[in-house]
Structure 1
Amino acid sequence: MNRLFFFTLLISITSCINNKDVKKENITIKSKIPNIVYILADDMGYGDLSSLNPESGIQTPHMDKIVKEGVHFTDAHTNSSVCTPTRYGILTGRYAWRSRLKEGVLYGYDKPLIEDDRPTIASYLKTNGYKTACIGKWHLGLGLQSEDSNKPIGNKKGLNTNVDFSKKIKGPNALGFDYSYIIPASLDMPPYVYIENGKVLELPSAYTKGKSQNKEGRGVSWRQGEKAPSFVFENVLNNITKKTVSFIDNQKRVNSPFFIYFSLTAPHTPWLPVGKVVGKSKAGRYGDFVTMVDDAVGSVVDALEKAGKLENTLIIVTSDNGSHWKLQDKKEFAHRANYKFKGQKADIYEGGHRVPYIAQWPGVIPAGLQSNQIMCTTDLFSTLSGILNKPNVESGAEDSYNLWPAYLSNKVTPIREAIVHHSFNGMFSIRKDKWKYTPNLGSGGFTKPKSIKPKANEASGTLYDMVNDPEEKNNLYKDYPEVVKELEQLLKKYKKQGYSNKL
């Protein structure tokens, strides 16, 4: 059976049944399964890609090529508008607000957020014959061992943190990854070390006083704290890209499929473009740093081609939330990192969680396809189970839906009921079909005002028609009380259940 016929048949099956039914139907279809490379940019906006934003101040030829040769989603969302909770959602298929993290993010010394017994994409794929790798930014908490068990781990000053870095660290390898090469959190959060398979490669015997963008310029900042003597902030993106390329190169003569979760450190602050990209964009340091992101994507694609793996590899490129492109940046540059969408990273507004989402698989995903299917980054788990035509996990991936048909056709189908959005400060909104409802006023994130108390006779929340008003300009809260009531009740049900009504 050839691959094209296999996927034609698979579309027919997945459009009629959900993943839970595959096991019941006992359907078996044999085909060569794909390698999967998931590239997660850090704080990259929809408008950063020149193929998605005609007026972008940045040229992104490598990502544009994926758009040209594969599919791009116009209505893709992260489950949260900040780093940690989105990463939790991607790897578990579950909204992070169902975990202990109700708002904000973790820091470098925090305990693991993903529960020990929770299935992850890595553990699921490993069970199905994949070799799995996690390379880059982790930001989901680590099982650090203390020097003194009677004292807490970590502190704001980053000195005397009570961590024994010579001991084994619990991290990605405990969650299904065969190989891991990571930094603990964002590039502006200590400890500044590389950790390979649970072992710190160089002890953090040095210390950085940190940098402030008030002195160094917009976007150049990181916190004070412990660092390895040879840790150079400007080199991190290139280092993790080289590790990913090396991992791919090592798969040349390996027949088993592989999964790479390549989590970039850019274009999150500190903005540290180096080499030939400096001055290349029309969006300052930030734009140049996005150019480095694009180059990293190009390096991965080139490595796959050289290893003879490109033809049977599904490549996905997306971002963990919208860009941290502030009002001051908009005043200085014509570039709109979050395209036409309102708000920025951390906000409940579209700019906080609507992101670029592009994918290619030569000969399988049609070239130049545009999908308007509403989707969420939590959907990766069930989508991969749909690709493999394997049963999804019995317990877990509660908020994940099989969106594979949308990768192959521009036909929009009602696969999921709704998406729940979540902001940095813990504000909720819900999207069903064209309607987006938020029970509160304000951004819930970085954009001021974060919270607004409604005046007498004013709407206490917002309702937007996202098809006709994607910029969220016309609040229809009072015009459609029946829609407000429906979405209010649906959101309450999701929150009360602790899991979606999918199960």
Structure 2
Amino acid sequence: MSPFRKLVVACFVFLLPGFAEGADRPNFVFFLVDDMGWADIAANNPDTFYETPNIDAFAKSGMRFTNGYAAASICSPTRASILTGRHPVRVNITDYIPGAKVPADSKFLHVEDRDNLALEETTIAELLKEKGRYTTFFAGKWHLGGEGFYPENQGFDFNIGGHERGGPPGGYYSPWKNPKLKAKRDGEYLTERLTEESIAFLKKPETDAAPFLLYLSYYNIHTPIQAYKKHIDHFSEKAEKQFSGPTPVIAERNNFSRGRQDNPELASMVSAVDDSVGAILQALEERGLAEDTVVVFFSDNGGLCTLPPRRSGIGGPGCNLPLRSGKGWLYEGGIREPMIVRAPGVTKAGT
């Protein structure tokens, strides 16, 4: 299979030939959420503790993939696979960058992973620029290499906040300690800023002159689990009314998995993503771009729900039930993702 065909299959360019009549080169908006599990949106799990009205409405307007799987159960390998259309082992990124320390008594041989996505790899951004003269915009989490391997070195014309770290070193409220994004004010919320920058890109003259790729890679809902002030009171009150007694725990070998979705802080972070998705979809409508734009929603791996006792006595912050386990595990909870595609003229609403 040729590299182009792999990209077609993996990165949604397969939608180009059947796109709405008159739109020879559709725009693309790709939402990638960090650590969001399959059960974290109501479109997949009506009983979820979280609230995702904008994502759910988007699902009704597009096609929901009930068996969407990530290329890996952790972030960097999946991100490399999405960008290149290749299996993680083919790009020599099989663990998060820089990777976990291999135990001295390990009985297995371990591959020598790269600390970056090789510049020789062809990314979806480079392909779209070469084949269709696209303007390419990246915002958010990169985690595929440091200086010299940033998004601007991999085919993106704009890079807002993408650098080598997997989570925001300074937290979600500024100062973020992000070398590629300076806060405008103290206490600025990271996801709100990434949304603002994405909408500003949609208003640039470049988006009128040429088709575009807007790749918004959220840091949410990765650790640190830090309440989104706009919604935390609502979810704290909801949890108090809905739950009684301690959080149930499920044993997973020598680890624990959280047994229910009941974390107000995490719920508020999910809502921050939902607000962002809604704002950007609304901006597409207002700019008259919605009918010419393919929109994809995905996650890099399952929710963080399983942790060793030394880190938590109740597992991770999230819960992926009815799926087993989560991030870092190859059970369904670690690799099955929320996946939604809307391509006017190609996908049928509500399927």
Aligned counterpart, 2:17: none
Checking the alignment, whether the CA contact within 8 Å between 1:57 and 1:287 is kept in structure 2 is yes
Residue identity (%)? 32
Is residue 352 from structure 1 mapped to residue 334 from structure 2 by the alignment? Answer: yes
Checking the alignment, whether the CA contact within 8 Å between 1:245 and 1:303 is kept in structure 2 is yes
Work out the CA distance in 2 between the residues paired with 1:259 and 1:272.
30
Q: Deviations over 1:44-91 (max 9, x none)?
A: 011110121021001101100111111111111110111111110100
Checking the alignment, whether the CA contact within 8 Å between 2:93 and 2:114 is kept in structure 1 is no
Cα-Cα RMSD: 3.2
Is residue 182 from structure 1 mapped to residue 161 from structure 2 by the alignment? Answer: yes
Is residue 192 from structure 1 mapped to residue 180 from structure 2 by the alignment? Answer: no
Checking the alignment, whether the CA contact within 8 Å between 1:330 and 1:336 is kept in structure 2 is no
Aligned counterpart, 1:250: 204
Is the radius of gyration larger for structure 1 or structure 2? 1
Is residue 139 from structure 1 mapped to residue 131 from structure 2 by the alignment? Answer: no
Higher RCO (C-alpha under 8 Å, 6+ residues apart): 2
Work out the CA distance in 2 between the residues paired with 1:121 and 1:255.
20
Work out the CA distance in 1 between the residues paired with 2:123 and 2:38.
27
Is residue 315 from structure 1 mapped to residue 295 from structure 2 by the alignment? Answer: yes
Unpaired segments of 5 or more residues in structure 2?
Answer: 11-20, 100-112, 171-175, 240-261
Is residue 39 from structure 1 mapped to residue 31 from structure 2 by the alignment? Answer: yes
Work out the CA distance in 2 between the residues paired with 1:300 and 1:86.
24
Aligned counterpart, 1:129: 133
Q: What SS does the corresponding residue of 1:113 show, helix, strand or coil?
A: coil
Unpaired segments of 5 or more residues in structure 1?
Answer: 1-13, 20-28, 144-168, 196-200, 203-227, 370-503
Work out the CA distance in 2 between the residues paired with 1:257 and 1:330.
49
Q: Deviations over 1:294-323 (max 9, x none)?
A: 111111101111111111111111100000
Aligned counterpart, 1:63: 55
Checking the alignment, whether the CA contact within 8 Å between 1:47 and 1:336 is kept in structure 2 is no
Q: CA shift at 1:253, angstroms? A: 6.5
**Which amino acid letter does the alignment assign opposite residue 350 of structure 2?**
G
Aligned counterpart, 1:435: none
Work out the CA distance in 2 between the residues paired with 1:230 and 1:140.
28
Checking the alignment, whether the CA contact within 8 Å between 1:69 and 1:362 is kept in structure 2 is no
Q: Flag the 1:277–1:123 CA change in 2: closer, same or farther, 3 A.
A: same
Work out the CA distance in 2 between the residues paired with 1:344 and 1:276.
27
Q: Output aligned runs, 1:280-295, within 5 Å.
A: 280-281=234-235, 282=239, 283=262, 284-295=264-275
Checking the alignment, whether the CA contact within 8 Å between 1:321 and 1:345 is kept in structure 2 is yes
Q: Which residue of 68, 74, 88 corresponds with 1:82?
A: 74
Q: CA shift at 1:230, angstroms? A: 6.8
Q: What SS does the corresponding residue of 2:208 show, helix, strand or coil?
A: coil
**Which amino acid letter does the alignment assign opposite residue 154 of structure 2?**
L
Q: CA shift at 1:255, angstroms? A: 3.5
Checking the alignment, whether the CA contact within 8 Å between 1:87 and 1:320 is kept in structure 2 is yes
Aligned residue pair count? 285
Aligned counterpart, 1:120: 123
Q: Flag the 1:122–1:193 CA change in 2: closer, same or farther, 3 A.
A: same
Work out the CA distance in 2 between the residues paired with 1:42 and 1:76.
15
Work out the CA distance in 2 between the residues paired with 1:82 and 1:294.
22
Q: Deviations over 1:355-409 (max 9, x none)?
A: 000111234310111xxxxxxxxxxxxxxxxxxxxxxxxxxxxxxxxxxxxxxxx
Q: Flag the 1:346–1:189 CA change in 2: closer, same or farther, 3 A.
A: farther
Work out the CA distance in 1 between the residues paired with 2:306 and 2:207.
47
Q: Output aligned runs, 1:137-286, within 5 Å.
A: 137-143=141-147, 170-184=149-163, 185-189=165-169, 192-195=177-180, 235-251=189-205, 254-281=208-235, 282=239, 283=262, 284-286=264-266
**Which amino acid letter does the alignment assign opposite residue 90 of structure 1?**
I
Checking the alignment, whether the CA contact within 8 Å between 1:33 and 1:257 is kept in structure 2 is yes
Work out the CA distance in 2 between the residues paired with 1:319 and 1:82.
10
TM-score by length of 2: 0.73
Checking the alignment, whether the CA contact within 8 Å between 1:35 and 1:258 is kept in structure 2 is yes
Work out the CA distance in 2 between the residues paired with 1:231 and 1:82.
32
Checking the alignment, whether the CA contact within 8 Å between 1:88 and 1:113 is kept in structure 2 is no
Work out the CA distance in 2 between the residues paired with 1:137 and 1:130.
21
TM-score by length of 1: 0.52
Q: CA shift at 1:102, angstroms? A: 3.8
Q: Deviations over 1:175-214 (max 9, x none)?
A: 111111124222244892241xxxxx66xxxxxxxxxxxx
Work out the CA distance in 2 between the residues paired with 1:310 and 1:94.
29
